[in-house]
Amino acid sequence: MGKKRIIKKTEEELLAETERIDRAVKKQIETKGVGKIKEGQIFIFSSYNNTIISLTNLKGDVLAWTSAGSIGFKGTKKSTPYAASRVAEVLSQKAISLGVTKVKVFVKGIGAGRESALRALAARGLDIVAIEDVTPIPHNGCRPPKPRRV
């Protein structure tokens, strides 16, 4: 099998690589229009197990997101209203740092964190223009099973 070779980069190569990555990130931010936007959309997805909140621009490109699990809540604590309010506070800080002030909020799901996330967003200084519930509702359900033959 032989010895494994470890390739070590010099400091100049590492600096060049980090500069290249920084340029790529700046270019990606400019293409998304992060520095220019004032309005955005916030999607709150609240399930029985977690609360996920995403911030997008008006086209739908995700600018920032956070969830109860990514903040540090584990297990059943992720689905609590307190965790949802903490998630909303973190996302509102990200939104304000990106320059977003007006938001439309879309709420989806049936979890416990729906209302508390909305209240936390409103309390943190974001101007909520509209609130819409986009929870999917079954109209006629799925097809019933065939009758049993005995």
Residue 110's CATH number: 3.30.420.80
At 32 the pLDDT is: 58
Cα–Cα dist 112/26, whole Å: 38
89-108 per-position pLDDT tens digit: 999 998 888 889 899 999 99
Residue at 1 is within a domain? no
pLDDT for 85: 94
Q: Which of 124, 42, 112 is nearest to 83 (CA)?
A: 112
Which has more pLDDT, 17 or 146?
A: 146
* Mean pLDDT, range 36-43, rounded to an integer: 87
pLDDT value of position 42: 95
Q: Are 27 and 58 in contact (CB under 8 A)?
A: no
Quick one: pLDDT band at residue 1, thresholds 50, 70, 90?
Answer: low
Residue 123 belongs to what domain range? 37-133
Q: Which among 90, 150, 79 has a CA at the least distance from the CA of 120?
A: 90
Domain assignment present for residue 108? The answer is: yes
102 assigned to some structural domain: yes
- 101 within a domain of the structure (yes/no): yes
Supply φ then ψ for residue 2, to 5 degrees: 90, 175
> Could you tell me the pLDDT band of residue 31, with boundaries at 50, 70 and 90?
low
Exposed (0-12), middle (13-18) or buried (19+): which is 44, by Cβ within 10 Å?
Answer: buried
Whether the full predicted model's pTM is greater than 0.85, yes or no, is no
Structural contact between residues 134 and 106, judged by C-beta atoms closer than 8 angstroms: yes
* Residue 122 falls inside a structural domain: yes
Q: Residue 46: what pLDDT?
A: 94
How far is 109 from 111, CA to CA, in rounded Å? 6
pLDDT of residue 150: 86
Residue 125 lies in a domain: yes
Structure tokens at 83: 């965790």
- 143 domain-assigned: no
The residue-averaged pLDDT of 48-60 equals 93
**Total structural domains within the chain:** 1
Does residue 29 fall inside a structural domain?
no
